[in-house]
Amino acid sequence: MDDHWVGVLSNIGVMSFLALSAYLLLLTGEISFGQQAFFAIGAYAAGIGTALWGWPLAAALGWAALAGAAAAVLVGLPTLRLHGLYFAIATLAFAEMVRILFEMWRYQVPIDGELLGPDGADGFRGIRYVFESNIEPSQYLAIIYALLGAVLLGFLLLERSRLGVSLRMIGEDPELAELNGIPVKRCKVLAAGLAGSLAGVGGGLYAHLTTYVEPRTFDVMLGVHSLAYGLIGGLGTALGPVIGVAIDISVLESVRMFAGYRMIVFGGLVALLLIWRPRGLLDETVVHALKARLRSACRCVWMSARVGETRR
Amino acid sequence: MIDFVQNTLDGVMIGSSYALLALGFTLIFGVMRRLNLSYGPTIMIGAYLGTLLHVDAGAGAAAVAAATVLGAALAGVYVERLCFAPMAAGAGIASMVSSFAIWMQLEQAAILVLPRHTYAFPPLAAGAPLTLGPFLVRLDHATMLIAAAALATGVYLVLHRTRFGLGLRAIVGNPVAAHLVGVDVRLSTLAAFALASAVGGVAGYLVLAVDQQVTPMFGMWATFKGLIAMMLGGLGSIPGAILGGLLLGAIEAHAQWYFGPHIRDLVTFAVLFLVLVLRPTGLIGEAPPAEAAAYGRA
């Protein structure tokens, strides 16, 4: 695989964490314009972990997840009382506050005769752990996708669990869920915390992928993009947001021939797609149909295997 | 004390354009119960049309103003047809994301036509500032305030004194019932969308004429200023939009004066966050009954 595609795939993997973070809240029916804040917090936390405190990558990523989750729960407690647009705008306000604070925050430590650390609007340079530990880009790609695979497995288990059903139920109708004895508030805060930790890990991976983060990357556009990914790929399964990211990044990368018309084509295609499928490519109906077909196919195989056994 | 009053005065004048932006936003939201993220970029399309006339044909202020408003209204119709009209009632989030995709499209279209980073925009009213005792009022700021007040009054009269306005208010109350009593919901919605985009176009024209320049960042700027002002005042309320806009202008002017531009934005977002958390309906808005239903379900 050449370096170009390793880069593209790494980007898709890292952005998937952010898209999954927004998707998890969408399941509970909440739109967040602010998941990029936890992505930013994770990026800074992990960068500080390896570059300034000399931690190994795993510890730094764990710390990024923790920081993202803690921040998300802290914001979630007052804001999750709100609904719909009110919640969306409150998260937007919070995320912009975080971005501006990062633009003002300086915390620099001399490491090997060089000042490292967050330097306000100039960003945080020199997160070189991956390079210094002689991890090849393709190995780092494997790390990203191993973690992403674990997260997707987690989503698969979640969808089959009581909690997953509760979350979707809250998304359908919070009052009905409450009446059925589901602790709506607690579930939502839990979902927000998990979403925050996902974004945090994604941010940590992002910081080590680019070796350099700057606050203006984490603006509202990033947040709205991460929300859009779920709707493009589909809200029926956790694979949806990942597909959404892959479509966006790979289409944008490959359709260079459109040059200046890239966004005109892509924006129009997304708008048409959403008319055709308002809940994305892999929406709930498609996912159910696929599952049913898979199940009957499995049953066929199993039955024919048993038939074979009895004949023998 | 003089500084304080002067800042408030300046802030309120700038805020009058935010109030118009919020007014257009709140009209769309009131009728649709959906968020049009493309609101700012539609205004930008109008502004770029005006700029094109100004740069290529040397058009004067009046022609540029007309082109801006007309262009914004037409772009608004395009967004409504593509992102809002074809979506079913429950697909609020799809409309919002779709309008975001069209935002990208409109922005790129504008940049293709006028690729430089900044273009000159014809000024509104030149001349020496007026003096009111110890206070100074810029002539273009005063014009902006008067135009904004006139337009807000006009929108209020359309909503409360015409059949079209009555129909719109019926749709805001209950679209199904409005349809049953003979209101053409689809047509009225389209017209409201065009009207709101045109109001936004006027706001955009006023802001750009005061700044005397236009950049591709304008679409994003207009969407977010309008959104913040609307949420501060209260979603779906016209007096709320006006109050929110003026308040946002005043807050920005004071914060800028005392702390500089960085902290200004921080203060703005902190105020917005606190208002939403402590008083979710905004300062004078009422919780719209159908809002939770429209957004509760994707």
pLDDT of residue B2: 84
Search chain B and give the residue with CA nearest A229: B97
Nearest to A214 by CA among A57, A71, A99, A48: A99
Q: Among B38, B93, B223, B297, which would you mutate to test the A interface (most chain A Cβ atoms within 10 Å of its Cβ)?
A: B93
**CB pair distance less than 8 Å for A224 and B100:** yes
Residues 16-35 on A with a CB inside 8 Å of B are 26, 29, 31
CB contact, 8 Å: B114 with chain A? no
Mean pLDDT of chain B, nearest integer: 88
Among A8-12, A55-59, A78-82, the minimum mean pLDDT is found in: A78-82
pLDDT score recorded for residue B287:
54
Q: Which CATH number fits domain A3-281: 1.20.120, 3.80.10, 1.10.3470, 1.10.287?
A: 1.10.3470
Residue B78 has what pLDDT?
Answer: 96
Q: Name which CATH class applies to B2-292.
A: mainly alpha
Sheet bearing A109-111, strands edge to edge: A109-111, A114-118, A124-125
Chain B residues inside the 8 Å CB shell of A270:
97-98, 101
- Contact check, Cβ <8 Å, A93/B220: no
Is the model's pLDDT at B11 over the cut of 80? yes
Q: What is the pLDDT of residues A268-286, one digit of tens each?
A: 888 998 998 888 888 888 8
> What are the DSSP calls for chain B, one per residue?
-HHHHHHHHHHHHHHHHHHHHHHHHHHHHHHHSS--TTHHHHHHHHHHHHHHHHHHH---HHHHHHHHHHHHHHHHHHHIIIIITTS-TT-HHHHHHHHHHHHHHHHHHHHHHS-SS-EE---S--SPPEEETTEEE-HHHHHHHHHHHHHHHHHHHHHHHSHHHHHHHHHHH-HHHHHHTT--HHHHHHHHHHHHHHHHHHHHHHHHHHHTEE-TTHHHHHHHHHHHHHHHH-TT-HHHHHHHHHHHHHHHHHHHHHH-HHHHHHHHHHHHHHHHHH-TTTTT----TTHHHHHH--
List A residues 75-104 in contact with B (Cβ-Cβ < 8 A): 78-79, 81-86, 88-90, 93-94, 96-97, 100-101, 103-104
Contact pairs from chain A to chain B, CB under 8 Å? 145
CB pair distance less than 8 Å for B101 and A271: yes
Domain ranges of chain A: 3-281, 282-312
A256: confidence class by pLDDT, cuts 50, 70, 90: low
Residue A267 and residue B227: Cβ atoms within 8 Å?
Answer: no
> Can you give the pLDDT at residue B110?
93
Query: DSSP characters for A130-189?
Result: HHHTT--HHHHHHHHHHHHHHHHHHHHHHHHSHHHHHHHHHHH-HHHHHHTT--HHHHHH
Q: Mean pLDDT, to the nearest integer, of A72-76?
A: 96
pLDDT in tens, B101-148: 999 999 999 999 999 889 999 888 777 788 887 888 888 888 899 999
DSSP assignment of B252-293 equals HHHHHHHH-HHHHHHHHHHHHHHHHHH-TTTTT----TTHHH
Q: Rounded to whole angstroms, how far apart are CA atoms A202 and A64?
A: 9
Which percentage of chain A shows pLDDT scores above 90?
A: 62
- Name residues 20-39 of chain B within 8 A of A (Cβ): 29, 35, 37
Would you state the pLDDT for residue A311?
A: 64
| ipTM of the prediction | 0.89
> How sure is the predictor about B40, in pLDDT bands with cuts at 50, 70 and 90?
very high
pLDDT score recorded for residue B293:
41
Query: What 3-state class would DSSP assign to A282?
Result: coil
Picking from A274, A281, A284 by the largest number of B CB atoms within 10 A of its own CB, the best residue to mutate is A274
pLDDT reading at B288 higher than 70: no
Chain B residue nearest residue A231, CA to CA = B94
- Note the Cα A236 to chain centre separation in Å: 16
Binning pLDDT at 50, 70 and 90, where does residue B286 land?
low
Nearest by CB to B298, which of A29, A83, A173?
A29
